[in-house]
Amino acid sequence: MKKIAVIGSTNVDLITYGNRFAKGGETLEAESFCIGNGGKGANQAVAAAKLGSHVLMLSKVGDDQFGEMSLSNYQAQGVDTQFVEKVAGISTGVAPIFVNTETSQNSILIVKGANNCLLPSDIDHAEETLKSVDLIVLQLEVPLETVYHAIDFGQKHGIKVLLNPAPAVAELSLEYACKCDFFVPNETELEILTGKPVSTVDEIKQAASVLFEHGLKNLIVTMGSQGSLWISNEQERLTAPVKVNAIDTSGAGDAFIGCFSHFFTQTGDVQVAIEKASAFAALSVTGKGTQSSYPTAAAFNEFQKNNI
Ligand code: RIB
């Protein structure tokens, strides 16, 4: 079976649902609250595992209740946790999330906690196991030096690397980013990283040219309800969105990446993987929470029968 390694973050999401943000100095009653398993790395790992991939996770959690909760969740979802380590004396990453129930949009704060302790030496420590994977998946909720080391590791061992530059970090080296086989930002991240406007597909293509000047092979820009745009040296391809009634978009980008990683490693076909990922992410926004909204493989198959 093909294997995916996710080198990235683990958080616990503290999600509040309400119809507007509180203003400065205001106390406002919200509608509801829930706690869930999250973190961009963890979400992507769980999405791929739910679809049946063998997923190896490299991550750090704190020695607190949230660390225990995260480890149990990985195990329940079938993610390989041999390289998920507890760090003494530091909290697990947490993400207070506010979901606007009128618009289904979210805003997210992250407190990285133990995620800051995932270091290049952790990649070296996992080398023997890690070098047998087919795809390494990265995001930016762990130190940049770790992300760069993972990209170098992938190149050294001939392993394909996907970088989801989320959350956008202006200091990200475009030299490093463009060494990856797949660079998968949303429009906002693309704007921050290239300094170019991205309000139209033409503007997105202009912004993309900055990355191709640095040698990028494949850019996949996720555009939410506008679908996605895959650009490579050979072609440009727009994939239409799958229309659904969104109630909570938190974690939809991660659903896309996890599903893309699963189908790309299974089929080697980028366009098929993008179409599956669009459908999986669309289905995820019809449920509440991040990982809690990801369908099982069976539910996803059922959805595709009726919607594609
Ligand atoms: O992309 C959604 C994720 O961002 C949440 O699960 C939260 O933990 C933050 O990492």
Q: Mind listing the pLDDT tens digit for each residue in 268-279?
A: 999 999 999 999
Q: State the Cα–Cα distance between residues 233 and 219, nearest whole angstrom.
A: 10
Beta-sheet strand order (sheet of 160-163): 80-87, 54-62, 3-7, 135-138, 160-163, 182-183, 218-222, 228-232, 236-239
Question: Which pLDDT score is estimated for 4?
Answer: 98
Q: With a cut of 50, list the residues of the chain below it in pLDDT.
A: none
Q: Who contacts 161 (Cβ-Cβ below 8 Å, separation ≥6)?
A: 135, 136, 137, 138, 150, 151, 154, 155, 179, 180, 181, 182
Q: Which of 289, 284, 274, 291 is nearest to 245 (CA)?
A: 284
Residue 141 is labelled as binding a ligand: yes
Q: Which residues line ligand 1 (CB under 6 A)?
A: 9, 11, 13, 38-40, 43, 95, 108, 110, 141, 250-251, 253-254, 290
Pairing relationship of beta strands 160-163 and 135-138 according to DSSP bridges: parallel
Quote the distance between the C-alpha of residue 230 and its chain's center. 17
- What 8-state DSSP symbol labels residue 21? P
Active site residue 254: yes
Of 64, 80, 134, 254, which is the active-site residue?
254
Q: What is the pLDDT of residue 15?
A: 97
Whether the Cβ atoms of residue 264 and residue 161 lie closer than 8 Å to each other: no
pLDDT for position 306: 83
Please report which helix (H) or strand (E) contains residue 59, including its range.
strand 54-62
Domains observed in the chain: 3-10+39-92+114-307 (3.40.1190.20)
Nearest CA to ligand 1 atom 8: 39
Provide the sign of the torsion angle of the four alpha carbons 157, 211, 242, 246, taken in this order: positive
